Amino acid sequence: MNTIPTSKNFCGYTGKGEPIRLTPGTHRRVVIEHVTPEIDGGRYPVKRVVGETLTVEADVFGDGHDIVWCGLRYRHETDSVWSVTPMHAFTAEVAEDRWQGTFSVEKTGSYSYTIVAGVDHFATWRRDLSLNAAAGKDLSLDFAEGAKFAEFAQSQAQDEDAEQLAEFAGRLRSSPAREDGLALVTGSELAHLVTKYRDSTEDTLYSRSLQVTVDRPRARFSTWYEMFPRSLRVSHENGHHPENLPAHGTFASCETALPYIAGMGFDVLYLPPIHPIGKIARKGSNNAITAQEGDLGSPWAIGSTEGGHTAVHPALGTIDDFRSFRKRAEDFGIEIALDLAFQCAPDHPWVQEHPNWFRHRADGSVKCAENPPKSYEDIYPFDFECEDSAALWRALREVVDFWVDQGVRIFRVDNPHTKPFPFWDWLIPEVKRSCPDVLFLAEAFTRPKLMHRLAKAGFTQSYTYFTWRNTKWELTEYFTELTKDESREIFRPNVWTNTPDILHEFLRQGGKSAFMVRFILAATLAANYGIYGPVFELAVTEAAAWREEEYQDSEKYQIRTWDLDQEHNMRDLISQVNFIRRENPALQQDWTLQFHHIDNDQLICYSKTTPVEGPGDQPSNQNVVLTVVNLDPQHTQSGWVHLDLEALAVTHQNFTLTDLLDGTRYTWHGPWNYVELHPGTHPAHIFRIHNFP
């Protein structure tokens, strides 16, 4: 990034990137202001995925009446030369002097972009000459002035271009016939060559070089499934597991779950920590302070004499077993996401090897994690302010590098808001510099500004408040904020129906119908979503007595055995909706989300369309999905929906819709139409709109 000089005479950059200082005779007359997207004055990059376009806007203007030209400069971090694409002024009167340009990002990594602009003296001359010609004035002096443009360009050109420009200059200086001169001046050849070799010394370059981080497409569209590997049992057609495999909790047994998970349409399988679990101060079942014999402890209490963050729990297998499991998952189109929980159990090797990485109490004992009045005796947080913090940072970077070397490219980061922002500002770019494909999901259920600051630090996706947004008004307000606010440039939501820590009241009280509602909302409102299973698809509602949003007999502290063949398993609905997501590109992005009026607060209606990429992209080519959901898990609800037909790219008053959930085809008439939805049997419509009668 360019460093802005602090001199009071500084006013921008020249077209060659040199600082402009206000001195007598300065000719740089164009102003560049209010550039978007620009996050915090260009301190942080915006985000895109490969194949997307970045649209850049700015106020660009000069003094007087001369014509201004404007260009968007960009280059990938591996490119040595800048590309420049023209920016165009808005034609709307209210947007006068507002310019816009776009470029496509074709590679992962980092792109730089900025704006260059200047007075277009040649275009101004051509405009004035045309006005003089229309007024019937003598044009001989105008032609002579035009020759100077050709001669300057000739001085910069070589070979055929120089010869052509010399010819043009000679013709203009020879006082050509009026019609011949006008034909030469208004033709494209002279304009092309003069523009190609124009004088750029008076151009103004925007004062900042801005950045865009480009991720692979899974950053924008992903479908997550969370499971505890130690609860996975090996299934077999005859009800018995093979004799050479343990019944529970190995990477081999996890492999047997892959067809089930892939069959539901999930492409990311997130595993809570797979490392050795501490034995000192281990928690018991249901978060009991004292563990009983046989209690396994929480996977987030990482480390024991068996190893730390780069080891796997011996009961799960070996590193080789993990690699085999990861590769097998790839055969099913599934990526493994690992948990990064930067904390230690009391018997983690680092506690003895690096005691100065932890905070200590007055009596010299290491301080456990606390969220007063709660204490987590089985977890020691790191002291990122310790004198040896540089070594601590490097050690944590080595943890990430280790798992990247094992083929892991997605990390779900536990409580990142409890670690310093400068640490993430350093770690994430360092990792992505050597491996741009790595994605980071921030598990940060915290204050909005903290969540957005983590996104600025480089987190690819973030958990959201979706779990606690259940009414029509809450959902509409929240998702409008996520998709329309400037923060969408850096904050990618990943909405979760439930987590091991969160069993919301809506699910506890609403039963299976409530699970269906929340699942359809998550899968259609957001391009990235996740469920914690199998408790979700089995609609488990038993809450812990000690905390209602926690599950009774939580897998965080013990093994659970799940009967996936239960009749009420929602896997068929989940499979169907995930298939709909894969087949409809409109659902694979967030920015076109549009809410539509419906006259019943228990019904919510919204749409997504594929973005219009350019003038040739016709509405008839767009993928348009309209979703209507009954938010009441107990009662049938009906109402009249009023559609914004323009937002839906509907060009006929009569149009056809297909409900992708049951295949029923409808013909609707105009913007007002009636819907009726029944909980448990038909809680939603997911319509594909066909833009024909």
Could you list the active site residues?
414, 443
Kindly report whether the peptide bond that precedes residue 534 is cis, defined as omega within 30 degrees of 0: yes
Q: What angle do CA 309, 311, 315 make, to 5 degrees?
A: 125
- Relative orientation angle of helices 159-173 and 188-196, to the nearest 10 degrees: 120
Q: Which of 421, 413, 420, 277 is closest to 344 using CA atoms?
A: 277
Beta bridge partners of 410: 337, 439
Judge whether 160 and 192 are in contact, CB under 8 Å. no
Beta bridge partners of 672: 642
What is the chain's percent helix, strand, coil content, to nearest 5?
30, 25, 40
Distance between alpha carbon 261 and the CA centroid of its chain, in Å? 24
Q: What is the 3-state secondary structure (H, E, C) of 174-210?
A: CCCCHHHHHHHHHCHHHHHHHHHCCCCCCCEECCCCE
Q: Which of 314, 280, 322, 272 is closest to 297 using CA atoms?
A: 280
What's phi and psi for 362, nearest 5 deg? -60, -30
Judge whether 267 and 223 are in contact, CB under 8 Å. yes
Q: Which of 255, 336, 248 is closest to 296 using CA atoms?
A: 248
For tokens 């106020």, name the residue.
59
Judge whether 550 and 501 are in contact, CB under 8 Å. yes
Q: Which of 4, 68, 12, 7 is closest to 204 using CA atoms?
A: 12
The end-to-end CA distance of the chain, in Å, is 53
For the chain, counts of helices (H) and of strands (E): 14, 32
Q: One-letter amino acid identity for 15?
A: G
3-state SS class at 585:
helix
Ranges assigned E (strand) in 475-621: 495-496, 528-532, 594-598, 603-609
Q: How far apart are CA 533 and CA 263, in angstroms?
A: 14
- Take residue 33 and report the two structure tokens written for it: 């202001």
- Relative orientation angle of helices 571-583 and 505-525, to the nearest 10 degrees: 20
Which DSSP helix (H) or strand (E) runs through 404?
Answer: helix 389-405
